[in-house]
Amino acid sequence: MKGLSLKIGAFNYSNIVLLVMMVCIRCGRSSIVHPVILIPGAGGNQLEARLSKHYKPTSLICNRWYPLNKDQDGWYRIWFEPSVILAPFTDCFAQRMMLHFDPLLDDYCNAPGVQTRVPHFGSTQSMLYLDPYLKHISAYMAPLVDSLQQIGYVEGETLFGAPYDFRYGLAAQGHPSKVGSKYLQDLKTLIEDASASNGGKQVILVSHSLGGLFTLQLLNRNPPSWRQKFIKHFLALSAPWGGAVDEVLTFASGNTLGVPLVDPLRVRAEQRSSESNLWLLPNPMFFGGTKPLVITENRNYTASDIPDFLKDIGFPEGVLPYETRIVPLVRNVEAPEVDVTCVMGAGVRTPESLIYWDGDFDKQPEMVYGDGDGTVNMVSLMGLQSLWGSEKNQSLKVIKVGGVSHMEILKDEAALDVVIGEINKLNSFSYRPPDHAEKVSEI
């Protein structure tokens, strides 16, 4: 009997849930699972563009040679397309990806003559690989989707995707945000439809990075009765709740995001124009107002000095939208009273301070590193724990996965085991969420 007990103990709870689910699925009862909707991070889905007669190319190359491939209606994949690593094409790409802030409209719009669209909303198709012809190097959510399918999820039936134009963000109440607000409405409709097509089951929302900020805004912008009816759980992976110092580098000197051969200065203006990048600058509520994030010979900049920082790097046009649209938005991070689990990497060297000794922001800085996931600082990843740790009606669980980076959270075996394990628990008939913030788990 002792040996039998040991064997039963080794066959853990998650395996039992998985076995039951597989048996039920083989019997044609896939509705045992709660539907899952995946919400990607910035750059985490394909984006398509088309040029109208109002487009004015900046060079002959942009006019005749880029892009190399279009469909019969003129649409082409602008993100991600590998030719952008070539300098002449990088300039064309940056010009077309640029957003423009209109102070009179108090909102962002595309560059003149450039139309964009997000393909395959409702599906995970545009989120699996950023380039479907280079799957090995451009995989994004493919490993996570594959893991979900192994436990019985079916694309278009119980598994859905909510890609979006990640250049755009959201604004504080009272300010228009046409593209971002439409995305929230489309996501809300997708949630309701996914629930309806699965017998009224509540939906599990799984976000990565920036997608977590959009998801939290969606929850807080809808009434408690709607959340209780449609949302089973919010599982946030690597969410930058308080922004990241890495975004300061993006604004100051440009950021290649790991793409080889690209000169960061060629994409800096485009990156500065992104509304969502403004949203991801370090939030003083988490980073404080005394710790220097940027160090120069003449002045240091903290998270409270972002307006001055934007002026001094040569981007004064970013101050108005930052102060009026972003600051009030990031000050309001309410608990949605929906069960939340945060899964994050930890123990990876992450930029904590940038040093520009001569004040030349055209150069890449020296860096001081701290804890985080290589992209997002730990103080930001742990932001909800610091805000909601004492909230009585907010269930919050935090899981740290050691040595896993911001992007590896979607493909690392140990991280995927955690994510799938949490989803298995949510699909268990006996699952009961805690009614408070749990102690942080470390793996």
Output helix, strand, coil percentages for the chain, rounded to the nearest 5: 40, 20, 40
Burial of 35 (0-12, 13-18, 19+ CB in 10 A): buried
What's the one-letter identity of residue 276?
A: S
The size of the chain, in residues, is: 443
373 catalytically annotated: yes
pLDDT at 1: 38
Instruction: List the chain domain ranges.
Output: 1-32, 35-44+120-442
Cα distances from 232 to residues 13, 148, 208, 224, 316, in angstroms, run: 20, 17, 17, 13, 43
| Mean predicted confidence (pLDDT) in 195-199 | 98
Catalytic residue (choose from 195, 207, 209, 405): 209
* pLDDT higher at 300 or 82: 300
* pLDDT higher at 21 or 433: 433
pLDDT at 434: 64
54 catalytically annotated: no
pLDDT digits (tens, 9 = 90+) for 102-152: 999 999 999 999 999 999 999 999 999 999 999 999 999 999 999 999 999
Catalytic residue (choose from 208, 373, 380, 405): 373
Residue 352, classed as helix, strand or coil, is strand
Catalytic residue (choose from 165, 353, 406, 412): 406
- Considering the domain 35-44+120-442 in this protein, what is its CATH number? 3.40.50.1820
pLDDT at 59: 86
> What mean pLDDT is reported for the chain?
91
pLDDT at 407: 97
106 catalytically annotated: no
Beta strands 300-301; 294-296: pairing state = antiparallel
Would you say residue 11 has pLDDT above 50? no
pLDDT digits (tens, 9 = 90+) for 156-167: 999 999 999 999
